[in-house]
């Protein structure tokens, strides 16, 4: 019924007992909770397009971009900063947009800020906007709850009521 524990017994003497196959050693056990998944990852720095760079084509990222050069195309980003020496010819769409330079095209953003050095030629569709004294702006301004939605430049036309037969 009871068995004697072998903890205190000395190990087998060489040559007296046949060696039993050893069970494979368990692999390194994974902790019960993975702390690395819960710690926030460091936000990568903004991608900077330098002043000597000219890009022809569209740019799309979920990160941040700081443009100091020339972009001939549309830009979509999380945070877009247009530097004082920058020129963008195309539509820009971002959650947060700060314009210090020149934009020729439509601007769509949740937060749009035109600083005193900004030059914008095009319509601005925004949720909130700030225009500093000295900024140059030619176009229309329209507030929308969701300016990032596709085709948000025109409000949806009301649908006619369906006709019913009696």
- Cα angle value 134/135/138 (rounded, 5°): 130
Q: Are 81 and 96 in contact (CB under 8 A)?
A: no
31/95 Cα distance (integer angstroms): 38
The set of residues, in sequence order, having a beta carbon less than 8 Å from that of 125 and lying 6+ positions away, is 106, 107, 108, 109, 142, 143, 144, 147, 152, 153
Nearest to 109 by CA among 144, 139, 157, 82: 144
Q: Are 127 and 145 in contact (CB under 8 A)?
A: yes
CA torsion through residues 75, 81, 84, 85, sign: negative
> Mean pLDDT over residues 20-39, rounded?
57
pLDDT band, residue 157 (cuts 50/70/90): very low
Q: Are 49 and 68 in contact (CB under 8 A)?
A: yes
For the stretch 39-68, pLDDT in tens is: 567 778 889 999 999 999 999 999 999 999
> What are the phi and psi torsion angles at 22 (to 5°)?
-80, 145
152/140 Cα distance (integer angstroms): 14
pLDDT at 140 over 90: yes
Domain ranges of the chain: 47-143
Pairing of strands 54-56, 87-89: unpaired
Between 77 and 162, name the one with better pLDDT. 77
For the stretch 68-124, pLDDT in tens is: 999 999 999 999 999 999 999 999 999 999 999 999 999 999 999 999 999 999 999
pLDDT at 138 over 80: yes
pLDDT band, residue 149 (cuts 50/70/90): confident
């Amino acid at each position: 019924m009871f068995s004697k524990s072998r903890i205190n017994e000395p190990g087998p003497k060489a040559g007296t007992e046949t060696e039993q196959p050893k069970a494979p050693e368990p692999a390194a056990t994974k902790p019960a909770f993975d702390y690395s998944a819960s710690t926030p990852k460091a936000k990568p720095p903004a991608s900077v397009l330098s002043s000597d760079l000219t890009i022809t084509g569209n740019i799309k990222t979920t990160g941040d971009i700081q443009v100091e050069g020339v972009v001939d195309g549309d830009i979509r980003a999380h945070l877009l900063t247009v530097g004082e020496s920058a020129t963008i010819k195309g539509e820009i769409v971002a959650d947060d947009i700060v314009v210090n330079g020149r934009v020729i095209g439509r601007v769509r953003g949740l937060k749009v800020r035109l600083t005193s050095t900004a030059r914008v030629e095009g319509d601005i569709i925004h949720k909130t906007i700030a225009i500093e004294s000295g900024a140059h702006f030619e176009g229309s301004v329209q507030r929308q709850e969701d300016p990032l939605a596709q085709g948000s430049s025109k409000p949806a036309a009301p649908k006619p009521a369906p006709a019913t037969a009696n």
